Amino acid sequence: MPKVLPKVSILVPVYNTSEYLEECLNSLVGQTLEDIEIIVINDGSSDNSLEIINECASKDDRIKIINKENSGYGASMNKGLNLAAGEYIGIVESDDFVKSDMFESLYELASKNDSDIVKSDFYSYYSKNKISIKADNVCSKGKVFSVKDDVSILKILPSIWSAIYKKDFLVQNNLSFLETKGASYQDTSFAFKALCCAKRIMFTNKAYLYYRSDNENSSVKSKEKVFAICDEFDEITKFLNENPEIKKLVNKEKLKIQFNRYKWNLLRIDAASREDFIEKFKETFETFYKDGELSLNGELQLLLNDKAGFMKYVDKLARYQEQKEKRRKLFSVRISLSGISIILFGKQIVRVG
């Protein structure tokens, strides 16, 4: 009798997340959809992550382990994609966790609508105060659609872990991850290409995944990662050049997204690296401008014609961002499903609900 394949394969890339890993894996083992496989890819962790994985796997034979030398997020994800046997594939980062009905709910939507992708909303989760805030990252459309119907979907955050993808769809479109070093931005080109290629997409604004927003070890500020976002958009540019019909449809939106993501990256990298990144930023968009792909106005004009002025502009934005973050840490009001909290000097002083 032929072996029945799982309905969903869940990929869990792991690198030194022992503090959160058991909570993550327990949330997957406890899924109401039992017909799943959980593929845990340990990317050469130097903490006790592998011990935790082995302990969990000894209790549930749906957990499969890939243990490899450290080679980065993209390489881990591709190994997981190659091993996955499920009809659909989900991704859960090892410092996050999910509601027990996440994959049953997403699979029901996917199978009912023969979807290539089903994407949901998620919660930003703050461990210290156990507060979750709905991200409002997607709007429920209540119907099957594609990028041809709404090119603006490309602007949503590349939250690949709040979705499931049909395995056959990924294989047919040769969709995989860039195997660049580290674990920064590798979801960018994968998410963009998947949305462009999918003919049947479903969105639900219900949230199932808790994205840990205060994990101090999750950072893109390393000097090695300054240009990681550029690698991802180089891949997107290559993909569009190879698919001219898609490029004609989405390139204008892609250029806006790329400009804003590069600007956002400038606010996150170390100040000492900003000048080098701005030079790369300028060279890239100068090429697009000379090729007639965009018009000269606003911030772009400042970038191309006054690099020093653009540098001052970015420094001003960075200072504003830092002040905003300090204010957020000193005092904030956070709303979650369980109530309202007032945070003062990083501590919860009032909780209503």
Question: Is the pTM for the entire model greater than 0.75?
Answer: yes
Find out whether 107 and 192 touch, Cβ atoms under 8 Å.
no
Residue 345 predicted with pLDDT over 50: no
Closest to 288 in 3D by CA, of 243, 258, 244, 313: 258
Residue 236 corresponds to which amino acid? I
Which pLDDT score, from 0 to 100, does residue 164 have? 98
Residues 213-269 pLDDT 10s = 875 554 444 566 789 999 999 999 999 999 999 999 999 999 999 999 999 999 888
Cβ partners under 8 Å of residue 337, min gap 6: 132, 134
Structure tokens at 203: 């969105």
Which pLDDT score, from 0 to 100, does residue 328 have? 54
Over residues 201-223, the mean pLDDT reads 77
Average pLDDT, the chain: 88
Which pLDDT score, from 0 to 100, does residue 317 have? 85
Find out whether 62 and 39 touch, Cβ atoms under 8 Å.
no
Q: Percent of the chain, pLDDT > 70? A: 87
Residues 319-341 pLDDT 10s = 877 776 665 555 454 444 445 55
Residues 145-196 pLDDT 10s = 999 999 999 999 999 999 999 999 999 999 999 998 766 788 999 999 999 9
Tokens 């014609």 belong to residue? 305
Find out whether 200 and 115 touch, Cβ atoms under 8 Å.
yes
Which residue would you say has higher pLDDT here, 75 or 128? 75
Q: Is the dihedral of CA 121, 264, 280, 304 positive or negative?
A: positive
Q: How large is the angle between the packed helices 187-197 and 228-242, nearest 10 degrees?
A: 20
Domain ranges of the chain: 8-212, 223-324
Residue 82 predicted with pLDDT over 60: yes
Cβ partners under 8 Å of residue 24, min gap 6: 12, 17, 92, 93, 94, 95, 96, 97
Over residues 95-124, the mean pLDDT reads 97
- Decide: helix, strand or coil at residue 11: strand
User: Would you list the DSSP string of 211-262?
Assistant: EETT-TT----SGGGTTHHHHHHHHHHHHHHH-HHHHHHHHHHHHHHHHHHH
Over residues 121-134, the mean pLDDT reads 87
Candidates 3.90.1150.10, 3.20.20.10, 3.40.50.1980, 3.90.550.10; correct CATH number of 8-212? Answer: 3.90.550.10
